[in-house]
Amino acid sequence: MALDFSRVLREGVEGIRNEVAARLSSLATSAPFWLSQRIFLEALLLLCEATMDFAARYAALARAMAQEAQDPIRQTELLRIAEICDCVPAKPARNFWEACQSFWFLQLIPQIEANGFSITPGRFDQYMYPFYRADVDAGRLTPAEAQELLECLWIKFSEISRVDDRGMAEINAGYASGQNLCIGGKTASGRDGTNELSYMCLAANAHLQLPQPNFTLRLHRDTPQELLDVAVRVIARGNGMPQFLNDELIIPALLNKAIPLHEAREYIPVGCDEITVLGMWGRCNGGYVNLAKALELALNNSRCRLTGDPVGLAPSSGREFCSFAELMEAVSRQIDYAVDCVIADANATDLVHADIAPLPFESLLVPGCIETCRDVTHGGARYNFTGPVGVGSATVGDSLAAVKKFVFDEKCLSLAALNEILDADFAGHEVWRQRFINSAPKFGNDEDSVDELVVSVTNRFFDRVETGQNPRGGGMMPALYSVTAHVGAGKHVGATPDGRNARAPLSDGLSPTYGRDMKGPTAALRSVAKVDLVRAPNGIIVNQRLAPGLLATEVGCLKMTQLLRCFVEAGGFHWQFNVVPTAVLLAAQEHPDQYRDLVIRVAGYSAFFVDLSRAAQDAIIQRSAPVL
């Protein structure tokens, strides 16, 4: 979620406490929900006091440490810290240092209160810039001093570490905490928002090379060339950040969800690249739909190819279809059934969440909750969405293209024979496996015949998701990413007609299947842009690796900025890159102790490579490395 940090910087927690107290005093005791509203507002008042007490404890500790400090410079620093913690976040921030400290308290508390996941700093360069500019103009702070404060804050982001169980670790391999800090992009008035702090954030990322904060650069047609130049040089450093989002597509996508234009322009990526605005709340990871499993069940009489157990929707035509259109309809019906199951699960989860784990601190900083006197989990936010996620779209598209070519167009393979090959996981059928891989069209090469199949599958997924409603009075907002769920989900899918072996990873997000995009990143971009991305503001992830030598020259860096301009014009949603050589990744697998500081891009986030499971490491190594 995105919290309204800027309001606390302007008004302080005391200002918010005053609003809560006024709302409490205005409640009519005869109102039907008076008791629950009163309890909620009283909880917020307690949290305001607790937040200020939390900062006061830091002030007291800093003073105690100052008394024991031997170094006079450090003693002065500690006394300054104590003075700052006396002020913020209780009162409005008066300078850049206070703004950074106030922000950090507010970022830290949700991690403590609720094991916070993907609490995003949001448009950091926008709401922090006035404090920086005022200090520098007044001579209270030099740019170098501000950079040091910024980089100290960067280090704090990486101190937050989550521990997940095995199942979650497969989905979120190496995932720290999803603190997505965003720079650039359009302002509410439609102008470019780039400022000096935008460049300082890029410098902090380049200097420290840590996996957190997750770091996003919003692009649009008027993004300054200088910002692109610097961003590309930062990417060349190797930790996979920043990732890129396209204002020209995402803002219209939010308008289609009835978000006002000035709010849509201020959109904020959370976690990986799920899109939100201030006042929006909901589970962006609202459950994963395994699209490749839907294809398997359609082909295999609704039985799991791995276990033989009946799974999914009851079949209507067994393992035989008279036409490719009949097969597509069977796949579509399995997708519908899977989406319905995920929506039911998401709604049950939301109801339990609201009942046993409300989030009063987050509610304090999500616009709408104080006005409605309702917790975010009870629908108090101004906008409420849940985000089911489709996984394996390129695996399905490539598989359908192979079935269409060999079974229905060329008629050189029957469906029965195809199922025998898949049941055997290609054992004794390597010739057919190679034909599936090398002779059928693949998503990511700008070939309409296969790209249109991915569009058809994703449109059906979008259609069904958009029919859903959640218990908080909102709708469902689809996404096409996988974090690393394509690895875990692949373990539950048998062999597929694209030549993929049983239990192998599925395609990654909306990225082409590893190694199958043979015509370079521009063709891959064109394929991805054919999908109706405007319907999926809950997030799209496209991963690509670049040959490291590409960004070693000025010409290569210029080509990269031109490619990013093409990304904006072509209607891409999200793009991110790894530039680490394959040899380095292989060496890190064999000698992890020598590569503890190696940070790579996993999905919509970065992580220390050696912290990933072997399966996740292998999946990253398999990504193609096109040369421009």
Catalytic residues: 272, 274
Of 366, 399, 342, 374, give the one whose Cα is nearest residue 513: 399
Q: By CB neighbour count within 10 A (0-12 exposed, 13-18 middle, 19+ buried), where does 86 fall? A: middle
Q: Which residues pair with 606 in a beta bridge?
A: 601
Of 364, 426, 440, 338, give the one whose Cα is nearest residue 398: 440
- The sign of the torsion formed by the CA atoms of 620, 623, 625, 628 equals negative
The amino acid sitting at 85 is C
Q: Are 442 and 454 in contact (CB under 8 A)?
A: no
Which residue stretches of 357-447 are H helix? 360-364, 369-372, 393-403, 415-423, 430-439
For 558-595, give one letter per residue: b (16+ CB within 10 A) or e: eebbebbeebbebbbbbbbbbbbeeeebeebbeeeeeb
Of 397, 431, 437, 401, give the one whose Cα is nearest residue 417: 431
Helix (H, G, I), strand (E, B) or coil at 480: strand
DSSP 192: B
Helix (H, G, I), strand (E, B) or coil at 169: helix
Please give the helix or strand (H or E) that residue 596 lies within, else none: none
Output the CA–CA distances (angstroms, integers) from residue 545 to 170, 595, 628, in the order listed. 22, 19, 11
C-alpha to C-alpha distance for 339 and 396, rounded to whole angstroms: 16
Helix (H, G, I), strand (E, B) or coil at 233: helix
Interstrand relation of 274-276 and 280-281 (parallel, antiparallel or unpaired): unpaired
C-alpha to C-alpha distance for 436 and 434, rounded to whole angstroms: 5
Q: In the numeric block, which tokens belong to residue 234?
A: 């930062």
C-alpha to C-alpha distance for 431 and 355, rounded to whole angstroms: 56
For 469-499, give one letter per residue: b (16+ CB within 10 A) or e: ebbbebbbbbbbbbbbbbbbbbebbbbbbbb
Q: Are 485 and 288 in contact (CB under 8 A)?
A: yes
Q: Are 236 and 552 in contact (CB under 8 A)?
A: yes
- The DSSP annotation for 306-334 comes to TT--B-SSPPSSTT--SSHHHHHHHHHHH
**CB neighbours of residue 520 within 10 Å:** 17
Q: How far apart are the first and last CA of the chain?
A: 37
Of 289, 120, 205, give the one whose Cα is nearest residue 606: 205
**CB neighbours of residue 319 within 10 Å:** 15
The amino acid sitting at 360 is P
